[in-house]
Amino acid sequence: DQQVKQNSPSLSVQEGRISILNCDYTNSMFDYFLWYKKYPAEGPTFLISISSIKDKNEDGRFTVFLNKSAKHLSLHIVPSQPGDSAVYFCAASEGPGNQFYFGTGTSLTVIP
């Protein structure tokens, strides 16, 4: 049973606009959350993280929001750039020493 879900397989956004990628989880014990970005024929690369003690973490154009009561996190990219076109995976873990569970990914296309 998928503990981390990304219900939107794909998303298209105009360059300069905001991209919002969503992720839901079912395990209330999850404590750490990550976003990875993946280009074709490459491995995923780490993008941004958040722990459950925070509800927001920002890094440049990328912001991750965590809503623990709704078991939901989202990644905001603003402004979106064509180079952001990739597959984005969210991942969650119960904390140190525990494995990460990955979502199925959302393919983002930023249209110039």
- Distance, in Å, from the CA atom of 107 to the CA atom of 29, rounded to the nearest integer, reads 27
Binds other proteins (CB under 8 A): choice among 1, 43, 53, 60 = 43
x-or-dash pattern for other proteins, window 87-106, by CB under 8 A? --x-x---xxxxxxxxxxx-
**Applying CB under 8 A, does 44 fall inside the site for other proteins?**
yes
For residue 79, which of 64, 60, 66 has the smallest C-alpha distance?
A: 60
Between 44 and 77, name the residue whose CB sits nearer to other proteins: 44
Element (H, E) at 100: strand 100-102
- Distance, in Å, from the CA atom of 46 to the CA atom of 48, rounded to the nearest integer, reads 6
Residue 17 identity (one-letter amino acid): R
Between 103 and 110, name the residue whose CB sits nearer to other proteins: 103
Q: Which two tokens stand for residue 97?
A: 């020493």
**Applying CB under 8 A, does 32 fall inside the site for other proteins?**
yes
Token look-up 């995976």 returns 89
Binds other proteins (CB under 8 A): choice among 8, 22, 49, 109 = 49
Residues that bind other proteins in the complex, under the rule CB under 8 A: 2, 4, 6, 32, 34, 36, 41-46, 49, 89, 91, 95-105
